[in-house]
Chains A and B, each alone.
Chain A
Amino acid sequence: MARRDEPRVGVYICHCGINISYKVNIEEVVDFTSRLERVVVARDYKFMCSNIGQELIINDIKEHNLNRVVVASCSPRMHEKTFRNACKKAGINPYLFQMASIRELVSWVTEDEREATQKAKDFVRAAVRRVIHHEPLQPRIVDINPNVLIIGGGIAGMQAALEIADAGRIVYLVEREPSIGGHMAKFDKTFPTLDCSACILTPKMVSVGQHENIKLLTYSEVEDVSGYIGNFEVKIRRKPSFVLEDKCTGCGECVKGCPVSLPNDFEYGLMDRTAIYRSFPQAVPNIFVIDKEGFSPCRNACPAGLNAHGYVKLISAGKHEEAFKLIMERVIFPASLGRACPAFCERECSRQLAGGPVQIRALKRFVADWYYENVGLEPPVVAQEKKEDRSVAVVGAGPAGLACAYYLAVQGYPVTVFEALEKPGGMLRYAIPEYRLPNNLVDKEIEFVKKAGVEIVCNTPVGKDGKRIDELFKEGYKAVFLGIGAHKDRTMGIPGEDLKGVHHSITFLRRINSGERVVLGDKVIVVGGGNSAIDAARAALRLGAKDVTIVYRRSRVEMPAFPEEIEAAEAEGVKIQILTNPVAFHGKDGNLSEVECVRMELGEPDESGRPRPIPIEGSNFKIPADSVILAIGQYPDSAPLAEDGLEINRDGTIWVDPETLATSREGVFAGGDATKGPSTIVEAIGLGRQAAEYIRRFLEGEDLKARPYEEHWLETVDREEVLKKRRYEVNEPHRPSERPVAERIKDFGEVELALDEERAVEEGRRCLDCAGCCECRQCELLCEANAIDHFMKEETLEVKVGSIIVATGFKPFDPSNLVQYGYKRYPEVYTSVEFERLNNAAGPTGGEIRMKDGRVPGRVAIIHCVGSRDENTNRYCSRVCCMYSMKFAHLVREKTGAEVYEFYIDIRSPGKMYEEFYNRLQEEGTHFVRGKVADVTDVTQSPEEEGRLVVVAEDTLAGKVRRVPVDMVILSVGLTAAEGADKVAHLVGISQDQDGWFIELHPKLAPVSTASDGVFIAGCCQGPKDIPDTVSQAAGAAAEALSLIMRGQVEVEAATSYIDPEICVGCQQCKKICMYSAIDYDPARGVCVVNEAVCKGCGLCAATCPNKAVTVKHFNNEEIFSELEGVLL
């Protein structure tokens, strides 16, 4: 420790004009002070901060050999620096100075003069006691990185960027929208000069875009800021635009192919845009972006990952062939799926909450039928080179096997499918009755698969009783896929199951699907609650049964069959008896005559999660029946394969790795019902396609698990959010019609009829484009520059800068909650920003002021102070609304000749040529009505008001309530803090006021600086302001940043933490709590060390250290306790 000189303190009491002296008896304080210990001189002066005041201190230091100084005046925030510099000039260390606040903390806030004087004395005494313990500190010098980060690419950010870039420094300009330009790019004219906004803005935008010193980062957001003045480290998230910036030429061809329609945010939803878009024609950078918010719910609901959103939109655009191709990328058998898929997609469709789901399944049926009819059975694939040496054997010609075969074949692998039964198709052919899926259609779709190069060999079982797997490999197949399905019926194992008249569903369905007319009799009981029970029951009706009853052991909600199927069965007359289970079948002469059942009740949930059915003892009863069909489940006939070296699960399914679908035997894969147990066609096809991919990797010698199966996958978008953002009508779906019940139960003809093209297209249009982009990839085909990359990923960029300018702008006030103005209720009520677009030559009407019905308005009302000067919304005046409202009035009169009524509270026109503009408007004949509007209504009281909106307000100058009928109402909405302003404030460490605006360091003298050194603010993020003020502020902020750069180095606070290595035990608690990562652990010495360049002197470590090894310089215990004593004495 340095030797301490005997402290000699000089104390200076400031009058601050009369700010302090009107409450504090200065003379008394000086007198009191001069008698304090260690005080050598005590003086007062009217303005201590003036040059004369400072000279006084400097002279005293020299004359009286002072080594400590106390000034009692305003506050350290105002003048600590001033007096520290004075000390420095006089040759003493600036940290040997202490300030007592007797203005902010005393004279301004204490009413009683006596109390004020006493308080001032206490504070001076505290400062004197403290300053005695002060130690000289050396401020640290840090280098300034000359690069600058600017957040926000509106006019403020652009202006600041240009100023700095022109001075030869590098600027990173980060803008979250796809283009720079901000709000100004949306305006048509600017007040009061009425020059064209675009004309003055676009040259600047182009300069920014082309400047070699400006690194323009659009569609990007700042994610993290660390470091300190001169040395910030910034992480910038670059959102995927799905368009390669360096390739896109901005030609706009892509837009022509996009079938998606979304509200255009740039036009405030006044018109729609496509998913691939450019905000406006003069956008900088002049490139397109794709609005892709995730995957649509339908797409992620599909077990096969089929992009329903994509093909639905293509159908809506009349691009049926393209839609079919998109489907074929993911599934085969589209016509079959279009009839018999349970459509998991429709259950997740956002339209479920808005009229009814888009009829996705029916649309698939439509487009598949259309393709087969208009194009034929040619697969839409490009022929691949045959890979003869890598042939694959597929066992089972059902949906899983054929999907696997198809996707391998289209990639050039020779595939042979071995089918045990007489004809291919599996469950499609043999389990789904023809009223749902006609067999000739299955034939057609199998033909289609064959055309892709798949060879099918029937009547060839594989396994113990047929061809062995070893044989397949010997014959030269390099891989085998097992898609054997689940064809074995489960039996109940109860008495009488072998009676004539007792059928099992899979066998039963196979018989009728093979064309046999099974004789069932009049009364048929179907046992089971799954889809095959329903199929069996409905088939039984068609075979002539008079009375068909489904008996199920749990209750209705537990029935695994799909609800639509159950409803259709009931509509056809099938009865359902729940909580009932057969216990025996009784017969006469070997023929079934009665089914003995027992009543069940529901117990605790079992391992399937459903309540366990428990028989009620003694509740047995008998139902007479001619036939019974047991539909209690099926399982794969996998036993013969076990002997071929495959591991079989307990339930009879083949064991596979769930990711790769590889079985326990190398080169053998399996999927579909064979591995999952009975499921759906779409799941089987999905697994077949998945197996094809892993077989391909296997054949090519790739690491199977190196990449996931779905390499391109995005989160599902939130349905509620979608419904909030989209504009739509709640309407009924175009459901496919059905044949009447009485007619359809007589035969096996199809129940459901197809949608015609017109209705299909209409139905496609109901899609809400949940995900934004539907990934139909039409844009890819149109883009000659190959600039589109649908798989683009988000990137994070790290840059180092020395200063930051925040210019994040504002958000227009949303008047939806001010119901009295009718916004969103009456179509002719616009916000001012919407009107800017309506009036803009590049806007939705090409700059013509037209009502939504195309008429030119005859009378227009402009309502001021909407969302400003109002305790219910924002208390502040938004400053720009009066002026832009008058600009609107002028433009409306000029373009339409309409009568314009300005309803205002006060006209605020302070600014160069502003009042003159107001006068000009008055002379033009605009009606100025002084009164805040009470109501905008369509309830009329006179013929003149008929068909118009009536604006009700008191004309306060005339003292009369007026009802003014108008055609159009413009709400002059105020400015509010930008969305995400809080996040930005938190990132860069600046604070917001109660309204969300960023707080400047000093409202008058440091308007663009902030409490965070090296961070500056410009434009509306600091508070509402017009373009001239914004530009001035931006230039000011740029000057501040440049000034910092020119200095090259800057002094930073010396009051940092210090860890005494003698006391530190290396527990590292301080390291954990430090927010600035300023503490490192030195393992060699076993102690923690403070990095002074990063330390902010916050003191958290000092408070945390259990050993009191940490001191914060300038705030050590001695200093703080002495000061406290001084106050409390």
Chain B
Amino acid sequence: MEARGLLKELLEMPGGDQILKCIQCGTCTGSCPMAQAMDYGPRRLFAMAKGGDFHEVFKANTYWICASCYFCTVRCPRGIKITDIMYALKRMAVARGYAPRERSVYIYQAFKETVEEYGRLSEAKMMQKYLKKSPLDAVKNASLGLKLLLKRRMELKVRPVKDPAAFKAMLTKARELAREGEAPAGSSGLCGIKGDIL
């Protein structure tokens, strides 16, 4: 897609237009506890997006690594809700099939699948799904898992919502609405609703 179209799409997402206010001061990246692990800090990502380099933006791991600690948002001198924009960019990337082979992506997927299936989170189920995708981690974290179990910090029993089928129907409807281009209100924080490829 044209870079201009992509930028327009970003600007139209909730809070997306705030990116225009960025003065490239670097407070966000300087404040980011995860910046070391990112290909690009938020500041550079915004510069690339404003400049139309979306290919690079979508390839970046920035928003996959973002821990949503909100340090950047609190400190931004322009009042930009940076964390929200991270979600927006993530949704755009996902909609276009970008999902880097990152463990954090597997976590998001495992989380989403568990919630879809049971209507709420079950840590044990989620870990089970995650470890299937990243089996090496199973070996690495075996002893930790055991300790958590022994201390009763992880519940094996799954407790689904009362009516998981109804919950699924709601999700389906939400997806339909999203496809019609009417993003359901309050969807900004919900990962993966708009372009559901996960």
Query: Which residues of A approach B to under 8 Å, CB–CB?
Result: 820, 865, 869-872, 905-906, 930-935, 952-956, 959, 961
Give the distance to chain A from B5, nearest Cβ to Cβ, in Å: 26
User: Can you spell out 26 A-B residue pairs with CB atoms less than 8 angstroms apart?
Assistant: A820-B75, A865-B25, A865-B77, A869-B23, A869-B77, A871-B77, A871-B78, A871-B79, A872-B75, A872-B77, A905-B25, A932-B26, A932-B77, A933-B27, A933-B30, A934-B75, A953-B30, A954-B26, A954-B30, A954-B35, A954-B41, A956-B25, A959-B41, A961-B29, A961-B30, A961-B32
Task: Mark contacts of B37-50 with chain A using CB atoms, 8 A cut-off: 1 yes-contact digit, 0 otherwise.
Answer: 00011011000000
Q: A970 CA to B141 CA in the complex, in Å? A: 46
Using A820-B75, A871-B78 as known contacts, say yes or no to A935 and B31 having CB atoms under 8 A apart.
yes
B27, B28, B31, B40: which has the most chain A beta carbons within 10 Å?
B27
Contact across chains for A959 and B79 when beta carbons are under 8 A apart: no
B residues within 8 A CB of A935?
A: 30-31
CB-CB < 8 A to B23: which residues of A? Answer: 869, 905-906
Q: Chain B residues with Cβ under 8 A from A961's Cβ?
A: 29-30, 32, 35-36, 41
Q: What CA separation (Å) do A931 and B25 show in the bound complex?
A: 5
Which residues of the other chain, A, contact B43 by a CB distance below 8 angstroms?
954, 956
Most chain B CB neighbours (cut-off 10 Å) among A869, A871, A934, A935 = A934
Closest Cβ of chain B to A329, distance in Å, is: 58
Point out the residues of chain B lying under 8 angstroms from A933, CB to CB. 27, 30
User: What 14 new A-B contacts, CB under 8 Å, besides A871-B78, A934-B27, A961-B30?
Assistant: A820-B31, A869-B23, A870-B77, A871-B76, A872-B75, A872-B77, A932-B26, A933-B27, A934-B29, A935-B30, A954-B28, A954-B35, A956-B24, A956-B26
**How far apart are B25's CB and chain A's nearest CB, in angstroms?**
4
Residues of A within 8 A of B31 (CB): 820, 934-935, 952
Q: Which residues of B contact A956 (CB under 8 A)?
A: 24-26, 29, 43
Q: Quick check: B77 and A953 within 8 Å, CB to CB?
A: no
**In the assembled complex, which residues on chain B have CB atoms less than 8 Å from the CB atom of A932?**
25-27, 30, 77
Work out how many contacts link A and B, with CB atoms closer than 8 A.
65
Contact string against A for B residues 57-82, beta-carbon threshold 8 Å, 1 for contact and 0 otherwise: 00000000000000100011111000
Which residue of B is nearest A864, CB measured? B25
Closest residue of chain A to B47 (Cβ to Cβ) is A956
- Specify which chain B residues have a CB less than 8 angstroms from the CB of A954 in the assembled complex: 26-30, 35, 41, 43
Residue from B23, B30, B31 having most chain A Cβ neighbours under 10 A: B30
Q: How far is the CB of A400 from chain B (nearest CB, A)?
A: 65
Measured between alpha carbons, how far is A931 from B29 in the docked complex, in Å?
10
Residue of B nearest to A904 (CB): B25
Contacts of A955 in B (CB 8 A): 26
Q: In whole Å, how far is B81's beta carbon from the nearest beta carbon of chain A?
A: 11
How far is the CB of A935 from the nearest CB of chain B, in Å? Answer: 7
In the bound assembly, the distance between CA atoms of A955 and B26 in angstroms comes to: 7
Which residue of the partner chain B has the closest CB to A961? B35
**In the complex, what residues of A have CB within 8 A of residue B24's CB?**
956
User: Who on chain B is nearest to A873 by CB?
Assistant: B77
**In the docked arrangement, what's the CA distance between A872 and B32, Å?**
18
A930 to B26, CA, bound (A): 8
User: Residue among B26, B27, B43 with the most chain A CB within 10 A?
Assistant: B26
Query: In the bound complex, what is the Cα–Cα distance between A820 and B29 (angstroms)?
Result: 14
The residues of B that contact A869 with a CB separation of less than 8 Å are 23, 77
State A961–B31 Cα separation when bound (angstroms). 9
- B25 closest partner in A (C-beta): A932
**Nearest chain B CB to A868's CB is how many angstroms away?**
9
Complex Cα distance, B2 from A682, in Å, reads 90
Chain A residue nearest to B31 in the complex (CB)? A934
Q: Report how far A871 CA is from B78 CA in the complex, Å.
A: 5
B51 shortest CB reach to chain A, Å: 14
Beta-carbon contacts under 8 Å, B127-151 to A:
none
Inter-chain CA distance A930–B47, complex, in Å, is: 15
**Cα A961 to Cα B35 with chains together (Å):** 8
Bound state CA distance, A71 and B16, in angstroms?
46
Q: How far is the CB of B31 from chain A (nearest CB, A)?
A: 4
Q: A954-B41, A956-B43, A961-B36 are in contact. Are A872 and B79 (CB under 8 A)?
A: yes
Residues of A within 8 A of B75 (CB): 820, 872, 934
**Residues of chain B within 8 A of A952, CB atoms compared:** 30-31
Question: Taking the nearest CB of chain B, how far is it from the CB of A907, in angstroms?
Answer: 13
In the bound complex, how far is the Cα of B46 from the Cα of A959, in angstroms?
13
Which chain B residue lies CB-closest to A951? Answer: B30
Contacts of B76 in A (CB 8 A): 871
Chain A nearest Cβ from B114, distance in angstroms = 35
A954 to B30, CA, bound (A): 5
Chain A hits for B29, CB < 8 A? 934, 954, 956, 961
Please, what's the 1-or-0 string for B9-29, where 1 marks a CB less than 8 Å from any CB in chain A? 000000000000001111111
Report A144 CB to chain B, min CB distance, Å: 47
Alpha-carbon distance between A793 and B100 when the two chains are bound, in angstroms = 78
Residues of chain B contacted by A820 (CB below 8 angstroms): 31, 75
CB distance from A927 to the nearest CB of B (A): 15
> What's the minimum C-beta distance from A932 to chain B, rounded to whole angstroms?
4
Contacts of A870 in B (CB 8 A): 77
- Which residues from chain A contact B78 at a C-beta distance below 8 Å? 871
In the bound complex, residues from chain A placing their C-beta under 8 Å from that of B26 are 930-932, 934, 953-956
Minimal beta-carbon separation of B24 from chain A (angstroms) = 6
C-alpha gap A935/B29 in the complex (Å): 11
Task: Give the nearest-CB partner of A959 in chain B.
Answer: B44
In the complex formed, the residue of A with least CB distance to B40 is A959
Query: Chain B residue with minimal CB distance to A870?
Result: B77
Name the residue on A nearest B38 (C-beta): A961
| Chain B hits for A871, CB < 8 A | 76-79
Within the complex, the shortest CB–CB distance from B48 to chain A, in Å, comes to: 11
Complex CA–CA separation, A955 to B30 (angstroms): 8
The minimal Cβ–Cβ distance linking A816 to chain B, given in whole angstroms, is 16
| Distance in Å: Cβ of B178 to nearest Cβ of chain A | 32
Among all A-B residue pairs, the 8 with the closest Cβ atoms: A934-B30, A954-B26, A871-B79, A870-B77, A932-B25, A931-B26, A934-B31, A954-B29
Nearest to B44 among chain A residues (CB) is A959
* Centre residue among A820, A930, A955 by max chain B CB count within 10 A: A820
Nearest-neighbour CB distance to chain A for B122, whole angstroms, equals 37
Query: Please, which residue of chain B has its CB at the minimum distance from the CB of A871?
Result: B79
A885 → chain B closest CB, angstroms: 15
Q: Which residues of A contact B41 (CB under 8 A)?
A: 954, 959, 961
- Chain A hits for B40, CB < 8 A: 959
Q: Give A838 to B57 CA distance when docked, in angstroms.
A: 47
Q: How far is the CA of A484 from the CA of B28 in the complex (A)?
A: 80
Interface centre among A933, A953, A961 (most CB of B within 10 A): A961
Cα distance A92–B71 in the bound complex, in angstroms:
68
CA distance A961 to B29 in the complex (A): 7
Give A870 to B25 CA distance when docked, in angstroms: 11
Report the Cα distance A953→B28, complex, angstroms: 9
Q: Which residues of A have CB within 8 Å of B71?
A: 934
A281 CB to closest chain B CB (Å) equals: 40
Complex: A865 Cα to B30 Cα, angstroms = 16
C-alpha spacing A820/B28, complex, angstroms: 13
Of A931, A955, A956, most buried by chain B (CB within 10 Å of CB) is A956
Chain A residues with CB below 8 A from B77, complex form: 865, 869-872, 932
Q: Nearest-CB distance from A74 to chain B (Å)?
A: 32
B52 to chain A, nearest CB (A): 19
Q: How far is the CA of A865 from the CA of B43 in the complex (A)?
A: 18
Q: Determine the distance from Cα of A773 to Cα of B142 in the docked complex, in whole angstroms.
A: 71
Report B61 CB to chain A, min CB distance, Å: 16
Once the chains are docked, how many angstroms separate the CA of A952 from the CA of B76? Answer: 15
Give the residues in chain B near A934, CB-CB below 8 Å: 26-27, 29-31, 71, 75
Q: How far is the CB of B172 from chain A (nearest CB, A)?
A: 40
| Per-position binary interface string of chain B over residues 100-129, scored 1 when its CB falls under 8 Å from any chain A CB and 0 otherwise | 000000000000000000000000000000
For the complex formed, measure the closest distance between the CB of B16 and the CB atoms of chain A, giving whole angstroms: 18
Chain B nearest CB from A369 CB (Å) reads 59
> A865–B23 Cα gap in the complex (Å)?
13
A959 to B62, CA, bound (A): 14
Q: How far is the CA of A404 from the CA of B27 in the complex (A)?
A: 73
Question: Once the chains are docked, how many angstroms separate the CA of A667 from the CA of B96?
Answer: 105
